Amino acid sequence: MRILYQLLVIFFMMLHGAAGKHLFPRPLDTCVAQNGRCFPGICRRPYYWIGTCSNGYSCCKRYVEV
């Protein structure tokens, strides 16, 4: 009976892979989470630097005037 459960788990994982789904979710992109954009080099006006993107670019956010 235990083998049946293991086979069902393996079958479920194979279905997930065939559907193109990730078994474990990817980490959230922190730049996008902060409403930023990735730019190569340094941030230019009207953007300011808030961090580094996963690809090594600068994470920049637009100035918001109140």
Q: Is pLDDT at 44 greater than 70 in this prediction? A: yes
Of residues 6 and 22, more confidently modeled:
6
Residue 66 pLDDT: 77
Domains contained in the chain, CATH given: 3-62 (3.10.360.10)
Alpha helices (H) along the chain: 2-18, 30-33
When mean pLDDT is compared across 1-10, 20-29, 42-51, the lowest value belongs to 20-29
Q: Considering only residues 24 and 60, tell me which one the structure prediction assigns the higher pLDDT.
A: 60
Ramachandran area for residue 4 (φ above 0: left; ψ -120 to 50: alpha; else beta): alpha
Global pTM reads 0.54
Q: Each residue of 23-41: pLDDT tens digit? A: 555 556 788 888 999 999 9
The pair phi, psi for residue 17, each rounded to 5°, is -65, -35
Query: How far apart (Å, rounded) are the C-alpha atoms in residues 35 and 12?
Result: 36
